[in-house]
């Protein structure tokens, strides 16, 4: 079953997606990271700030799950229906930060995430947890929380790939 991936494969997938983003970001000059392709799109800086915020939240969810607690997913008092509002709040919170600061945070957040995943036992990864989405109760394997991280990288990696194509052409 797809959710029954072992820890080694989970870490490898997570690291591959993070490495892709690091390499892609190195290819973009700072001005290209700040000028949107279209007014409706975030800049690369915005996307990376967004990834940082959600990685911090995701690491908290994983830490709770590893400790046998119920993760506060998506956030206390929020539902997945509030996602646009959460993303808009993330944008507002980080729009005045420097690109250097946002990139440094991106680099700093990944090693603790990897250490956390490495510390979770295979047995715990296979166990299911119950959490509340704000709308209903869900039950998922702990391993799926890890998979959420690299799926998030995949999603935003596609956006950054588009930026690279436009910025380097």
> For 21-40, how does the pLDDT look when each residue is reduced to its tens digit (9 = 90+)?
999 888 888 888 887 766 66
Per the DSSP assignment, residues forming a β-bridge with 140 are: 129
> For 106-151, how does the pLDDT look when each residue is reduced to its tens digit (9 = 90+)?
999 999 999 999 999 889 999 998 887 767 788 889 999 889 888 9
* CA distance linking residue 52 with residue 110, whole number of Å: 9
What's this model's pTM, rounded to 2 decimal places?
0.83
* CA distance linking residue 103 with residue 109, whole number of Å: 10
């Amino acid at each position: 079953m797809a959710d029954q991936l072992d820890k080694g494969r989970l870490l490898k997938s997570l690291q591959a997606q993070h490495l892709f983003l690091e390499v892609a970001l190195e290819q973009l000059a700072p001005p290209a990271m700040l000028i949107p392709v279209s007014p409706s799109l975030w800049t690369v800086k915005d996307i990376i700030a967004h990834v940082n915020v959600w990685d911090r939240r995701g690491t908290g969810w994983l830490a709770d799950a590893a400790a046998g607690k119920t993760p506060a997913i998506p956030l206390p008092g929020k539902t997945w229906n509030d996602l646009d509002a959460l993303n808009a709040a993330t944008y507002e919170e980080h729009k005045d930060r420097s690109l250097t600061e946002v990139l440094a945070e991106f680099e700093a957040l990944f090693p603790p995430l990897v250490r956390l995943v490495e510390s979770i036992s295979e047995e715990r990864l296979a166990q299911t947890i119950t959490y509340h989405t704000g709308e209903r109760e869900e039950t998922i394997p702990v391993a799926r929380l890890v998979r959420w991280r690299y799926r998030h990288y995949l999603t935003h990696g596609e956006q950054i790939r588009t930026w690279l194509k436009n910025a380097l052409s």
